[in-house]
Structure 1
Amino acid sequence: MASEGTCAEMSTPICLINNTKDGGLVVCEEAMKILDQITQPVVVVAVVGLYRTGKSYLMNRLARKQRGFALGSTIESKTKGIWMWCVPHPQKKDHTLVLLDTEGLGDVDKGDEKHDVWIFCMAVLLSSTLVYNSLGTIDNTALEKLHYVTKLTEHIKVSSCHKDNQETYNTSTELMRVFPSFVWTVRDFTLDLELDGKPITADEYLENALRLKSGENPNDEKYKTRSSLRNFFAVRKCFVFERPATSKMMKKMETLTDDDLEEDFVKEAKEFCSYVYSSAAPKTMRGGMMLTGRMLATLAQTYVEAISSGQVPSLDNAVESLSRIQNSRAVTEAVDFYRSEMIKKVKFPTETQQELSDIHSVVEKEAISVFIRDSFNDLDQKYQKELQTQLEHEYGKLVEQNMEESRKLSKNVISQVFGPLEEKVKEGSYLRPGGYSEFCNALETAVQQYKRENGKRLMSEEVLTTYLLEKSEVGCSILAADTSLSESEQKLNEEKLQRDVLEQKNKYLEEQKKIQDQMVLDLKKSHEEHKEQLKKKLEEERARNKDEIQRTLDAQYKEEMRRKHEGLQDRNNEMQRQIDRLLIERQKNNGSCVIN
Structure 2
Amino acid sequence: HQKWSQMATTEFMKRSFQDQEGKYKVDEHYSELLGENASSSEQRCWQLLSKLSKDLNDGRQQGEYTKPGGYAIYCSHRDSVISHYQSQPGKGVKARDQTHRRIILTTEKQREKAALEEQQKKALEEKHKELQRAQQVEGKRHEERMQQMETKFEEEKRLQVEELERAMQRKLAEQEDLIKKNYHEKAELMRQEIDQLKDEIGNNSQSFFQQTVLPLIDTGVDVFSKILHFKLMKSALKVSPV
Select the structure that is richer in strand. Answer: 1
TM-score, normalised by the number of residues in structure 1: 0.19
By percentage of residues, which structure has more helix?
2
Higher RCO (C-alpha 8 Å, min separation 6)? 2
